[in-house]
């Protein structure tokens, strides 16, 4: 299957600072990228969907001014957690889907964010 990478794989930041997570599709062009969040012992929760060159669409309850998503190219999307707080500590997973059939969706390895 196709490969999606994330960087960094883990990050520790202080409360009040911002952190950026990168998501890249390595061997295909991702028309649509997705960002999920997963708290311990819970399932993945979709945060937002973005199409290349367009503004992201956020799920209900996700603050768009806190979680900034940029999908500037067909191979790169970034998630910036602004003014992070300890409750933002979570496992963030990106996913990418190509523009043609069979529209399979592939996931990155995830980024563990800890806010102290």
Partner 1 sequence: DAKTTQPPSMDCAEGRAANLPCNHSTISGNEYVYWYRQIHSQGPQYIIHGLKNNETNEMASLIITEDRKSSTLILPHATLRDTAVYYCIVRGGGGSQGNLIFGKGTKLSVKP
Least separation, in Å, of the C-beta of 115 and partner 1? 18
Handedness of CA 46, 5, 77, 88 (dihedral sign): positive
Q: Closer to partner 1 at the Cβ: 81 or 108? A: 108
Which helix (H) or strand (E) is 78 found in, with range?
strand 76-81
C-alpha count within 13 angstroms, C-beta hemisphere, residue 95: 16
Q: By CB under 8 A, name the binding residues for partner 1.
A: 1, 4, 6, 32, 34, 36, 43-46, 49, 51, 91, 93, 95, 99, 101-110, 112
Question: From the CB of 84, what's the least distance to partner 1, in Å?
Answer: 20
């Amino acid at each position: 299957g196709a490969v999606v990478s994330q960087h960094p794989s883990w990050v520790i930041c202080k409360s009040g600072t911002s952190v950026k997570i990168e998501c890249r599709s390595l061997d295909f062009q991702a028309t649509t990228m997705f960002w999920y969040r997963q708290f311990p012992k819970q399932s993945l929760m979709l945060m937002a969907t973005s199409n290349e060159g367009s503004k992201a669409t956020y799920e209900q309850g996700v603050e768009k001014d806190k979680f900034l998503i940029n999908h500037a190219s067909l191979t790169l999307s970034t998630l910036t957690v602004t003014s992070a707080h300890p409750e933002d500590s979570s496992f963030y997973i990106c996913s990418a889907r190509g523009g043609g059939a069979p529209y399979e969706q592939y996931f990155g390895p995830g980024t563990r964010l800890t806010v102290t």
